[in-house]
Structure 1
Amino acid sequence: MDSPHGAAVTAEDFGLKGPRGWAFRGVRLDAPPGALIAIEGPSGSGRTCLLLALTGRMRASEGRAEVGGLRLPRQMAAVRRISALGPVPGVSELDPAFTVAEHLRERALLQRRYDGSLRALLRPRTERTAAARNRIDTALDTAGLDPANLPKAERTSVRDLERLEALRLSVALALIGRPRLLAVDDTDLKLSDAERAEAWELLRSVADSGTTVLAVCSQAPVGAITVRTATTATSGTSAASGTADITEADAADVSEPAEAPGATTEKTTDEKTTDEGTADAFAETGRA
């Protein structure tokens, strides 16, 4: 099997606005094929909405972006066909009652049903089965997941997987479709330092194999092309660090004036507006 060719991802003044505020705004990004792109920021800062917008799952409100030469939001359906979602809460999640084998078998069947060519569907059943098994094995190998090492091998239920094992399974499922862009949400959530390092090593290996990776996180790893969604970020691109930053200070334009920050940990008006804009954006796509 030929290695998939990653999709270049670019954006200029990219933004998504809900009825009560901006989920994100002013995104600038220029990443080559096969890059590891980290969307860094606190929870509620529009990270997931940006990930979904760049994979054609949410419609942006302003600016422009391209994924693999396909323009957003004009060609959202085409972008969805070349991208795949790993774990994204509320959008693409593992079923805790399913076993690893059941998830893999289901994804392979869906892949064959909806993405296979007519010629492939007309091949003998033994050939189709062998091709599906090869896709699964290749995806598992790339994701670094060996079912034989799980407590009950492929019969292990998702609810019995460790967090890092579940991440590897989600990545493997996404890679069965051989996407040009892989998107992963909450990459470093509930991971120890050692597990976080393993997770980034996994995503780097996927990028090195030719697939562009877009990953949401609270702290980006060294060497990744970083897009920051924190409300304190300054708009612009840093040539020295190679990072692309987002500003969401303009969210105050659609909300009440922010009070002076105090000693408490309550969110500022800007951050609240970002949360509301994110919730509205999810609601409009039926993913609230």
Structure 2
Amino acid sequence: MEKAIQVKELKKSYQQHQVLKNVNFDVEKGSIFALLGSNGAGKTTLVKILATLLKPDGGSAAVNGFEVTAQPEHVRQSISLTGQFAAVDEILTGRENLIMIAKLRHLKNSHQVADDLLKRFGLVDAADRRASTYSGGMRRRLDIAMSLIGKPRLIFLDEPTTGLDPEARIEVWNVVRELANSGTTVFLTTQYLEEAEQLADHIAILHEGRIIASGTLEELKKRFPPAKVEYIEKQPSLEEIFLAIISKKEAK
């Protein structure tokens, strides 16, 4: 498989604190790669290096075949980055946000691009409302739609469901799956284990600046002793109960 990202012996320190310690991993094109880690593990630092926002202290990294330190402009043209909090202009409408980004990317058909993305992300009915009136899930969908303008080959989603309610989280999950199905490589950082379990083709765990485990979900499961088989009555989770109640309300 072709590699969208190749990282070898990557290092980064802030003064005396070593944040990344000889990090190594690859990401296959068209896959969903989840990077897990607690706060302070180095996830955001790693994303910033891959997105050319920070320079590493050592090692190498290539994104879409371009070296992040030697060819930063080529890297930037082939990626998009969505941070932990939606970067939409709340004074503008959803449509105006999309048109603005399309014009900044020097696209000639900015209005058509906006219309296509509004339809793709289910925002047509809210297109001419100010983004300040959007729910958390709608705002995040708009944010991701803005990131897709210019058709980047790879999108970084840095903890995209932080602060979202369960319903909005599932909205974002569906968007991520749709991106991967369309051929976009997705690099996802998250603290939510269920998120990685639901979405990722490949999972890496970053702990204290090092990748301590990497593989598919099934490969990672094999590293632990087999589970005991016991009969228990499965109770619905609180998230399942919440979503069922919401669905019934909307159906009335």
Contact preservation (8 Å) 2:11, 2:22: yes
Q: Deviations over 1:136-192 (max 9, x none)?
A: 2333344x23231xxxx3232222211111111011111111111111222221223
Match runs of 1:42-81 below 5 Å: 42-81=38-77
Task: Say yes or no: does 1:218 pair with 2:191.
Answer: yes
The secondary structure found in structure 2 opposite 1:102 is helix
Corresponding residue for 1:174? 147
* Residue 156 (structure 1) aligned with residue 129 (structure 2): yes
- Distance in 2 separating the partners of 1:68 and 1:199: 24
Alpha-carbon distance change, 192 to 240 in structure 1, aligned in 2, over 3 angstroms: closer
- State TM-score, norm by structure 1: 0.66
Structure 2 Cα separation of the partners of residues 239 and 102 of structure 1: 40
Q: For residues 218-273 of structure 1, what are the alpha-carbon distances to aligned partners after superposition, in whole Å with 9 as ceiling and x for unaligned? A: 12234332232233976354477567xxxxxxxxxxxxxxxxxxxxxxxxxxxxxx
> Cα 1:95–1:242, aligned 2, differ >3 Å: closer, same or farther?
farther
Q: Show the counterpart of 2:225.
A: none
In the other structure, the counterpart of 1:87 is: 83
2:132 counterpart of 1:138: no
8 A contact 1:7–1:34 mirrored in 2: no
CA RMSD of aligned residues (A): 2.6
The alpha-carbon distance between structure 1 residues 197 and 73, as it changes in their structure 2 partners (threshold 3 A), is same
Matched residue, 1:102: 96
Tell me the distance in 1 between the aligned counterparts of 2:118 and 2:11: 35
Contact 1:99 1:157 in 2 (8 A): yes
Instruction: Give the partner amino acid of 1:163.
Output: G
Residue in 2 that maps onto 1:208: 181
In the superposition, relative to structure 1, how do residues 24 and 9 fare at CA in structure 2: closer, same or farther (>3 Å)? same
Measured in 2, the distance between the counterparts of 1:65 and 1:228 equals 18
> Cα deviation per residue 1:56-89 (whole Å; 9 max; x = unaligned)?
2221112222111112322222111111122355
Select the structure with the greater relative contact order (CA < 8 A; seq sep ≥ 6).
Answer: 1
**% of aligned pairs identical?**
23
Question: Which segment is superposed worse, 93-102 or 167-176?
Answer: 93-102
Separation (CA, whole Å) in 2 of partners of 1:218 and 1:65: 23
TM-score, normalised to structure 2, is 0.74
SS at match of 2:111: helix
What is the identity, as a one-letter code, of the residue corresponding to 1:217? T
8 Å CA contact retained: 2:202, 2:215: no
Residue equivalent to 2:157? 184
Tell me, in whole angstroms, the C-alpha distance in 1 between the residues paired with 2:4 and 2:13.
Answer: 25
Q: Which has the higher strand share?
A: 2
For structure 1, which runs of at least 5 residues remain unmatched after alignment? 1-5, 117-127, 244-288
Return closer, same or farther for 1:11/1:41 CA change in 2, 3 Å cut-off.
same
Partner residue, 2:235: none
Query: Is 1:87–1:171's contact at 8 Å kept on the other side of the alignment?
Result: no
Q: Any gaps of 5 or more consecutive residues in structure 2?
A: 221-252
Distance in 2 separating the partners of 1:110 and 1:234: 37
- The one-letter code matched in structure 2 to 1:84 is S
**Partners of 1:37 and 1:226 within 8 A in 2:** yes
How many pairs does the alignment contain? 215
Instruction: For residue 133 of structure 1, give the secondary structure of its aligned residue in structure 2.
Output: helix
d(CA) in 1 for partners of 2:183, 2:163: 28
- State the AA in 2 paired with 1:95: D
SS of residue matched to 2:24: strand
1:263-274 superposed matches below 5 A? none
